[in-house]
Amino acid sequence: MPELPDLSLHGLFDQQLREVASDPAAVQRALAAGRQALAEATGPREEARLLGYVGNALRMLGRHAEAEAAQARALALAEELGDARGLVVARIRLGEALRCADELERAEAELRTALAAARAQPSLGLTDFALQHLGKTLLDGGRAREAEPLLAEALVLREAKGDDALVESTRLALDRARRHG
């Protein structure tokens, strides 16, 4: 599988904690590289991974309908493959694409399904991601009190993982929930 640019190096979080391109030209180049790799994908697993990448780049660029379509296709491939981890990741990514498109009800439904699957399979290590994105979706819907315990749980899980960037991301969201709750 090809090495693609790290999208997080070209993103920042806006006031709603949505990742947007800090360098749109760099994200556009990454998108082009992702699409090229997708055209050359050798199988459905690689295609699903690349669709997720392309969808994330499109979301960062504010191209919501295209991002949703890419993430929905990645989800369909994960379902076809019976890939439990890929399925949870794809649902989280689709939920985030929907949240960024202000499709909050649909985002919440996807993220609740992802959270249930992540909780049912803790060895996947994705519960914190599902909690984080569901919490941010609830925040966007003005439901800070519902978001706060989810984000607090995500913070505990992320602190246990020891990933400073994830911990900081969750702290930002939890602080926002506490200010608006």
Has residue 71 been placed in a domain? yes
Has residue 1 been placed in a domain? no
- How do residues 90-116 score in pLDDT, each as one tens digit? 999 999 999 999 999 999 999 999 999
**Which sign does the torsion angle of CA 19, 39, 51, 69 carry?**
positive
Has residue 118 been placed in a domain? yes
pLDDT at 181: 77
Question: Is residue 12 scored above 60 in pLDDT?
Answer: yes
Q: Give the total residue count for the chain.
A: 181
- How many domains, in total, are found in the chain? 1
Residue with tokens 């993103």: 11
Has residue 73 been placed in a domain? yes
CATH number reported for the structural domain that contains residue 70 in this entry = 1.25.40.10
- Cα 93 from Cα 107, distance rounded (Å): 10
Has residue 43 been placed in a domain? yes
The residues that bridge with 19 in the sheet, in sequence order, are: 13
- How do residues 33-80 score in pLDDT, each as one tens digit? 999 999 999 999 999 999 999 999 999 999 999 999 999 999 999 999
Q: How many CB atoms lie within 10 A of CB 144?
A: 17
Has residue 138 been placed in a domain? yes
Has residue 2 been placed in a domain? no
Has residue 58 been placed in a domain? yes
- Cα 170 from Cα 104, distance rounded (Å): 19
Amino acid identity, residue 144?
A: A
**Confidence band for 132, pLDDT divided at 50, 70 and 90:** very high
Contact in structure between 64 and 73 (CB atoms under 8 Å) = no
> What residue numbers bound the domain in which 152 lies?
7-180
pTM of the predicted protein model: 0.95
